[in-house]
Every structure is written in C-alpha cells, then in structure tokens.
Amino acid sequence: EVQMVESGGGLAKPGGSLRLSCAASGFTFSDYNMNWVRQAPGKGLEWVSIISSRSNYIYYADSVKGRFTISRDNARNSLYLQMNSLRVEDTAVYYCVRERSEADSSGSYVNFFDPWGQGTLVTVSS
Amino acid sequence: DIQMTQSPSSLSASVGDRVTITCRASQSISTYLNWYQQKPGKAPKLLIYAASSLQSGVPSRFSGGGSGTDFTLTINSLQPEDFATYYCQQSFITLYSFGQGTKLEV
C-alpha cells in the first residue's frame, strides 16, 4: 500500500523553527517528485514546495521562499521540510504529497497529487 | 502565478441531485487541471486529473470537462458520501495553485 506518514509538527514561537519529516512506503520513492501542501485551519489548500525525484529542481511558493527548505533522502525514503523564521500565518496542517504523471488524450503528461499523507499540524503562537 | 477561482463557494443540494462546480483559471492552462475531494478531518483525495480523466476507483457519477480557462466538475445522482469540499488545482506551471474550494452541503 502506498503510504506517507508525516511527523515533526507541534507548537513553535514566532521566529522559531521546526523540521517536518515524511516517511514514504509502498512505492519506489526515488522515482517520484514530492511536494508539501498546507491547509490553515478552516481554510483552503496552499501548495508550498516541490522537489524533483533526484533533487535537481526545487521550487517554493512566494509565501515561504527564503524561510523554508525542502529536501529528501532517497536512501531513507524520506522527505523533509525545514521551516525557519516561522510566522503565525504558517499555522496549518502540512501534507506530504506524491506527484504522479499521466498522459492526457493529446499525449501531454499532466502532473497531479496522489496520494496524500494524513498531515501534521504546525501551530505558530507566542 | 496562475489564479484559480471556483464557483460557487458553497452549494446546497439533496441526495439524487445533479450538481456542477466551475473552476476558472487566470490564463489558459490547456487541460492541466485536477479535482480533489476533501472530507472533514481527512486528507484530500484525487478525483479527476487532466480535466476529464477519472482516477481509478472513483465512481462514474463524477465527471470533469473543459479546457483553456474554464472547467467543470459534475456529480450525477448525489450520494450521501459526496457531501464534502471540492478543490480544483492547476499543474500547467510548477508553481501549483488551488481554487479556494466549494463546500457541498445537504
């Protein structure tokens, strides 16, 4: 069974740091791009960051650029998110998400998120 | 960045109804559009990818359509388990973005 299990969430003070981890199993982790997506309490989904399968490209949402760092260890089947300079608005459930690709009717490959981990809650408060 | 706008933000319906949710992109995204379903306290689940391709295991009462900037998610004959929040997401550019969500209520 394909599964991702996040850990490392908790309470942090504004300006503080946390490191999230995601343990993947049931698939060849090194074959897939991985993402972090977050959801503030009662709000919608916000994409945070992507790392390619071999870590050769990485992108961030503007809201976290310069503060968060995504990384992975393919030997350990693990994804990470180092969060520094945390702000109250970073409070959210953080999901680890596998990215898949399939061809559409024209033969173009479309990327999508499947499956999602269960999420880990990060609360930033003084 | 590409902005995704869903309408309506909330929708009341009954079991057996047919409902349609709309998603509009701020620029053309071809068919790089995916739909997710989220139930309270749970992680989102993929329903449709590439605008109209049904994810394996998803009931055929769900269907998607559209291309360019305008997309739809249609649910035929609503079932009790379909009352949830639905999100569209573009994957045309790697700075991915979601719609704000549509809450489908009884």
DSSP per position, A103-115 = E-TTS-EEEEEEE
> Who has greater pLDDT, A44 or A107?
A44
Supply the pLDDT for residue A103: 85
Supply the pLDDT for residue A106: 81
- Whether residue B96 and residue A115 make contact (CB cut-off 8 A), yes or no, is no
The DSSP output letter for B95 is: S
Mutation choice for B interface testing from A111, A118, A121 by most B CBs within 10 A: A111
Give percent helix, percent strand, percent coil of chain A, each to the nearest 5.
5, 55, 40
Given a cut of 90, whether residue A23 has pLDDT beyond it is: yes
Supply the pLDDT for residue A4: 97
Supply the pLDDT for residue B48: 97
Structure tokens at A58: 């990485």
Q: What percentage of chain A has pLDDT greater than the value 90?
A: 94
The DSSP output letter for A89 is: G
- Asked if the C-beta of A56 comes within 8 angstroms of chain B's C-beta atoms, the answer is no
Q: Along the 106 residues of chain B, how does pLDDT read in single tens digits?
A: 999 999 999 999 999 999 999 999 999 999 999 999 999 999 999 999 999 999 999 999 999 999 999 999 999 999 999 999 999 999 999 999 999 999 999 8
Supply the pLDDT for residue B13: 96
- Asked if the C-beta of B2 comes within 8 angstroms of chain A's C-beta atoms, the answer is no
Supply the pLDDT for residue B33: 96
* Residue B69 identity: T
Supply the pLDDT for residue A121: 98
b or e along B63-100 (b: 16 or more beta carbons within 10 Å of the residue's beta carbon)? Answer: bbebbebebbbebeebeeebbbbbbbbbbbeeebbbbb
- Whether residue A119 and residue B1 make contact (CB cut-off 8 A), yes or no, is no
